[in-house]
Structure 1
């Protein structure tokens, strides 16, 4: 059993060591993801008497895993900016696919601008909605 575990460990280490390089020896980007925990929950502008809310899970994609430290440090700033954007949306925009993409893009642009102001570099490659629930 130990031999099998050792063999698996060696195999995994070998795969990961070769995975960081392209065939010609160039270093390939080593993407990492930062997830906001817990999910972001806020109200949005709704018509009528019913209060609308949205719950979203967000992952930020970065090229270098070392950038995750900066994202963790600035988590409250980024979270507040996203909540502000979500809270200013209309029900129609929140509930439509095109509106959802516009919101995602606005969140990406804002978060990238803020992190660039704080760290001096734009480290976020993409912003992904991993959960998007509304009522």
Structure 2
């Protein structure tokens, strides 16, 4: 009985050591660290209105990037990116601004424009997503 118990303990010890060796050799799981860049102050612009007065909107925009170090490049190009977003917003109709599907189309259009600009400036696409964190219109 003692021999069987000793043999089991030896086998268990060998199995545990083999498992521990595999764990040490396995590369650590890499996690992407996303970072966000928010435009300050919020973007305020006019849009094409069907009424006799101008329509305006105020939005907060956050850019999601893959690497926190990319925030330096995004910050350097803040005026260019802000101007592009204002241009896209200013060319929208009132119906599009006020509808949920229109808002998503505008967000996608802003994302495409900003991503194309930063790719041209930095040489690679840095922006993963563009989010409207606040979206007000009148």
Is TM > 0.5 for Structure 1 vs Structure 2?
A: yes
Say whether residues 1:123 and 2:113 are aligned partners. Answer: no
Q: RMSD in angstroms over aligned alpha carbons?
A: 1.1
Please give the residue correspondences for 1:1-135 in structure 2 after superposition, counting only pairs within 5 Å. 25-135=28-138
Runs of 4+ off more than 2 Å = none
1:25 shift after superposition: 1.2
Q: Which has the larger radius of gyration?
A: 2
The alignment covers a number of residue pairs equal to 113
Segments of structure 1 that go 5 or more residues without pairing to the other structure are: 1-22
TM-score (norm: length of structure 1)? 0.82
Of 43-52 and 108-117, deviating more is: 43-52
CA distance, structure 1, for counterparts of residue 61 and residue 42 of structure 2: 7
Gaps of 5+ in 2: 1-25
